[in-house]
Amino acid sequence: MKANQTTIKKMGKRTYTLKELAQRDFGVLPKTLTEATSPHFSLANIQEDLLDDDLDKVENKPAATSSIKEASGTKAKNQQAIKAPPPNTHLVLPIKLLTNLIEKEIATTAKHLALEVAELQAWIDLQVLVPKQTLLALLRLARANNLDPLKEEVALALYEDERWQAYITVEGYSKILNNHPAFDGITFAQSPEHTNDIPLWMECTIYRKDRSHPIVIREYFEEVKGEQAIWQKMPRRMLRHRVMKQCARLAMT
């Protein structure tokens, strides 16, 4: 019994063969067989038919099918791995170590400055928005220059780029100057030209006993003026503070 080629293409080779064998050997009625073997349009059935159609073209197609399934499984596992990354446990240890280091620095700095550890710890705890690295820098800056953060001799600043920095205030630099054994005086000068009654520049000169030449620094108002209200209210004082800090930084630290 020869199969019609059109019928084979419509039903698929495997489905047609099963029907032919059933009619020939087991006497199954065509209607019953058709209902029992009607194709279900699932991905597995479609893939199976496609592979059967290409059976004459590629002899080792089943091996390729296994490779496809394995590749699909590997791809699915990789996608799951990407979607579910491991928790960020690698940050826990560095943060803990840094916290312990800050506690150690607080105790060391408090002893060096003759402060109560609990008092300095309370001041540090109030700086809730400051990164731990910046707090560590502040404690070391305070200890290196014998400056008391509780007296605002060192402080913290937040810049426009959201970067924190520890710095020495004008009170801190004044303390450094007056406590330094080589300090031998300080003078200021300003430009004769003014804009809105503000000098264009101001100079600071610091003398040291152990140097033959003084340290002289000039700062221009237009280059260093800030946007804070204090700069609008007292521009000359702020310019003097700025030039003194820069001069003391080069002369004494």
Closest listed residue to residue 187, CA positions, set 213, 212, 214: 214
Q: How sure is the predictor about 55, in pLDDT bands with cuts at 50, 70 and 90?
A: very low
Q: Is residue 196 pLDDT above 60, yes or no?
A: yes
Q: Is residue 5 pLDDT above 90, yes or no?
A: no
Token pair belonging to 69 = 């399934």
Token pair belonging to 213 = 């030449």
Q: Is residue 58 pLDDT above 60, yes or no?
A: no
Residue type, 88: N
Residue 49's pLDDT is 42
**Domain coordinates of the chain in residue numbers?**
5-83, 92-147+154-161, 169-253
Question: Measured between alpha carbons, how far is 110 from 119 in angstroms, rounded to an integer?
Answer: 9
Contacts 24+ apart (CB under 8 A), 193-201: 195/221, 198/235, 198/236, 198/239, 199/236, 199/239
What percent of the chain is predicted at pLDDT more than 90? 57
Closest listed residue to residue 245, CA positions, set 134, 154, 118, 116: 154
Q: Is residue 113 pLDDT above 60, yes or no?
A: yes
Q: Is residue 78 pLDDT above 90, yes or no?
A: no
Residue 28's pLDDT is 42
Residue 111's pLDDT is 96
Cβ(220)–Cβ(235) under 8 Å? no
Cβ(148)–Cβ(113) under 8 Å? yes
Q: Which residue has the higher pLDDT, 36 or 229?
A: 229
Distances from the Cα of 70 to the Cα of 76, 79, 81, 94, angstroms: 10, 14, 16, 40
Q: How sure is the predictor about 72, in pLDDT bands with cuts at 50, 70 and 90?
A: low
Report pTM.
0.62
Tens digits of residue pLDDT in 82-99: 555 555 555 556 778 888
Q: Which residue has the higher pLDDT, 246 or 63?
A: 246
Write out the DSSP string of 212-244: SS-EEEEEEHHHH--SSHHHHH-HHHHHHHHHH
Q: How sure is the predictor about 237, in pLDDT bands with cuts at 50, 70 and 90?
A: very high
Q: Is residue 149 pLDDT above 50, yes or no?
A: yes
Residue 99's pLDDT is 86
Token pair belonging to 19 = 């029907």
- Which residues contact residue 226 at a Cβ distance below 8 angstroms, ignoring those fewer than 6 apart? 238
